[in-house]
Amino acid sequence: MLLRQLAVLALILGCTAESMQNNMGWFVTVQGLLRPETTAALYKFPEVLELEHGARITIIMLSAPSPSTVELLTWENYVFTAESNDPVELEMIASPPWNLQRLVQTAPTPLSGVYAPPAHGSGVSIYILDTGIYPDHREFGGRVRRVTDWKNEAPCFGETHGTWVASIAGGSTLGVAQNASLWDMKLPNGDNCAFYVCDAARALSWLLHHLPPAPFLVVMSWKTNGSPSLVQLCDLLHAQGAVLFAAAGNSGSVLEPCQMSPSNAGASTLSVGAVNDLDARASWSNYGPCVDIYAAGVSIIGAGTASTTALVVGDGTSAAAPGAAGVAAVLCELYKLTTPAAIEAALFEHSLQNVVTGTNVLPNFLVSLASPPPPPPSVSASIPPVVGHAHATRLVCACLALV
């Protein structure tokens, strides 16, 4: 045993200069409890900082290699190990998620490892109509705001959907528009995270009668049975300056986007389908003439609610819609766009055409920020006055499904 302890001593004394610069001291792990006289003797050594006693292990923290400590423990026949307190490296992905890398290159492979958009969505507001956003997550950096006279309940922490959606649109490392302002409009009325058509209609009506300054975007990553109320409110809000994005749905259907709301508000709302990392339409993504554009929606990393650093990975057109909204926010800042017509024109002008593979993917547009073309022509759109009867619309509650 003496030879083994002497080898440990040689190791601790032979630390390289690099090791001594990078570590936070040294420590010794001893099997079992120390005798009181041993503890007293150790505390006389100036390099001994702290002793942490456990039932089976005692840890001795040192400010420097301590030959005296090693000699004492060896002399008293303790079984121990000594090592430098080196930093622990977190096994995190250093490069941006694939969906961000794909946005800034013209082909799906090989990925460059870089996300360098031409702008970051500064000055653009994105309203997230969902289950709520966990504002303290590090992805948001204080950019999440709650509409003060809307609902101020805490998010549904059992349901990470709204937080995930928000981080895809505007997270500081996982989002497309990393400087955009994110507005939390939590739809659920209770703690079970369920919400209904009337909740969504009230949120849209609130936006209609408290118009934010342009440009502002609205993300709706959910669906319900066709609702005339939602279609009317989307149309009115679009006429007042909003650009609206809806998840196309995850049923692999060509009919559903034309029937379910809000994706069926085709005159005012962009319905977004999902693709994978090879630009193939996800097998479960809705498609067809009522899907306007596609965005990444498979294995998308986003913020979770378990902690301020929690991450989750999910699939769905729920991810594609905020991804498309994030692209629109970037283009808003890049070209100083403020009207829905100009923003939507830029979104399609920048998209990659006829690259999405799969059955019946017409129209075939994939959101993109690669190789920006010249600024799109100025598109002006007259904005009519607010129609005063929006609140008089009869609202029929029906359950909404997250997609």
Catalytic residues: 130, 161, 318
Residue 162: DSSP 8-state:
H
Compute the distance between CA of residue 194 and CA of residue 206 in angstroms, rounded to an integer. 20
* HEC-encoded secondary structure of 94-114: CCCCHHHHHHCCCCCCCCCCC
Two structure tokens written together for 153: 């309940």
Compute the distance between CA of residue 115 and CA of residue 365 in angstroms, rounded to an integer. 21
Got the DSSP string for 249-264?
Answer: -SS--SSHHHHSBTTT
Two structure tokens written together for 54: 């456990």
Two structure tokens written together for 116: 């360098």
CA contacts within 13 A on the Cβ side of 361: 24
Got the DSSP string for 333-352?
Answer: HHHT--SHHHHHHHHHHHSE
Q: Tell me if 275 sits within 8 A of 366, measured CB to CB.
A: yes
Residue whose token pair is 């709301």:
261
Residue whose token pair is 């067809």:
288
Q: Tell me if 133 sits within 8 A of 184, measured CB to CB.
A: yes
| Amino acid at site 135 | P
Q: Helices marked H in 181-313 — which ranges?
A: 197-209, 228-239, 256-259
Compute the distance between CA of residue 227 and CA of residue 264 in angstroms, rounded to an integer. 9
| Strands of the sheet with 57-62, listed across from one edge | 48-53, 57-62, 26-31, 80-84
Strands 269-275 and 300-303: unpaired
209 Cβ partners below 8 Å, 6+ apart?
Answer: 386, 390, 391
Residue 399: DSSP 8-state:
B
